[in-house]
Amino acid sequence: MADTVLSLQDARLSLDGNAGRVDILKGISLEILQGETVGLVGPSGSGKSSLLMLMGGLERATGGQITALGRDLTALGEDALARFRREHMGVVFQSFHLIPTMTALENVATPLELAGAEDAFDRAAAELAEVGLADRSDHYPSQMSGGEQQRVALARAAAPRPDILLADEPTGNLDGATGEAIMNLLFGLRDRHGATLVLVTHARELAERCDRTIRLADGQIAPDLAARAAE
């Protein structure tokens, strides 16, 4: 049986807003195995993206425990979390989040440089070629289409060969054909590099491509799938 890569025990997230405290995640427990592809689905506001952020250490849980590759993320400081992501995680966002002052090549090379890779730019160039953008490496994000930007973001997330790939609605801002091309690329990258993939999506066909689907509703795992999530 494969090892557990991500484990959440009663993970909770509450945020203080103008209207008072809002409980976003109300005790999530689940385990994700190495090499698995997991789809997080559910209506808007159900807490899917927040759950993904907790898994990536981008958001700090207000309760419970989150373990990734055996490390307790809730016990790590902000810089230690950054170093952990640098070594083990890749994140793809709906809005791409490329750094506007950097070219495509520089964007892709950045996590490799941060990880101290000597050949960061060569690897970044190869990664860009893999997503079909070898000829756009000198372009700034503002000079590229949404689909191209997302491909750069995919290359950036995959370049350090992370153990875990987190993707937050990566096709949400793209048209159908472009979105499908991006998903093919994402699954292709995962297949080639063997990472664990956690994917937030609204698209049913995307969720169906995953090994497993977890449905969230009102900050909790929906009962019909809760049992499977706990497997």
Partner 1 sequence: MSLRLASRFAARELRGGLRGFRVFLACLALGVAAIAAVGTVRESIEAGLSREGAVILGGDAAIGLTYRFAEPEERAWMEARSEAVSEIVDFRSMAVVDRGGDVERGLTQVKAVDSAYPLYGEVLLDPAMPLSEALADQGAVMDRVLVDRLGLSVGEGFRLGDATFRLSAVITREPDSGAGGFGLGPRTLVRTDALEGSGLLAPGTLFETSYRMRLAPGTELAGMAAAAEAELEGAGLRWQDRRNGAPGVSEFVDRLGAFLVLVGLAGLAVGGVGVSAAVRAYLDGKTGVIATLKTLGADRATVFQTYLLQIAVLTALGIVIGLALGALVPLAFAPVIEARLPLPAAFAIYPGPLAEAALYGALTALLFTIWPLARTEDVRAAAIFRDAALNAAGWPRPVWILLTLALLGAVVGAAAVFSGLATLTLWSALGMLGAFVALIVAADLARRAARRLARARALRGRTTARLALGSVGGPGIETTSVVLSLGLGLSVLAAIGQIDANLRGAIERDLPDVAPSYFVVDIQNDQLEGFRTRLDANPAVETVESAPMLRGIITEINGRPAAETAGDHWVLQGDRGITYSAAPPEGAVVTAGEWWAEDYAGPPLVSFAAEEAEEMGLEIGDSITINVLGRDIEAQVTSFREVDFSTAGIGFILSMNPAALAGAPHTHIATIYADAAAEGAILRDLADAYPNITAIRVKDAIERVTGVLGGIAAAVTYGALATLITGGIVLIGAAAAGERARTYEAAVLKTLGATRGSILANFALRSALLGLAAGLVAIFAGGAAGWAVTTFVMSTDYVFEPVSAIAIVTGGVMLTLLAGLAFAWRPLSARPAQVLRARE
Q: Which residues form the interface with partner 1 (CB under 8 A)? A: 49-50, 53, 56, 58-60, 78-79, 82-87, 91, 93-95, 97-102, 106, 109-111, 113-118, 120-121, 140, 142, 156
The residue type of 202 is H
- The nearer residue to partner 1, 102 or 181, going by C-beta atoms, is 102
- The nearer residue to partner 1, 95 or 184, going by C-beta atoms, is 95
Both tokens assigned to 148: 């191209």
- The nearer residue to partner 1, 33 or 58, going by C-beta atoms, is 58
CB of 33 to partner 1, least distance (A): 24
CB of 92 to partner 1, least distance (A): 10
CB of 67 to partner 1, least distance (A): 19
Both tokens assigned to 36: 């698995």
**DSSP-derived 3-state class of residue 92:** strand
CB of 230 to partner 1, least distance (A): 25
CB of 17 to partner 1, least distance (A): 11
How far is the CA of 116 from the CAs of 54, 123, 160, 167, in angstroms?
A: 26, 12, 10, 24
- The nearer residue to partner 1, 122 or 191, going by C-beta atoms, is 122
User: What own/partner pairs with CB < 8 Å and gap ≥ 24 does 185-193 have?
Assistant: 185/131, 185/151, 185/154, 186/92, 186/154, 187/37, 189/130, 189/154, 189/158, 189/165, 190/37, 190/165, 193/158, 193/161
- The nearer residue to partner 1, 30 or 112, going by C-beta atoms, is 112
CB of 223 to partner 1, least distance (A): 27
- The nearer residue to partner 1, 130 or 169, going by C-beta atoms, is 169
DSSP label at 136? G
Nearest to 6 by CA among 25, 31, 39, 36: 31
CA distance 60 to 75: 10
Buried b (16+ CB within 10 A) or exposed e, 190-222: beeeebbbbbbbebeebbebbebbbbbbebbbe
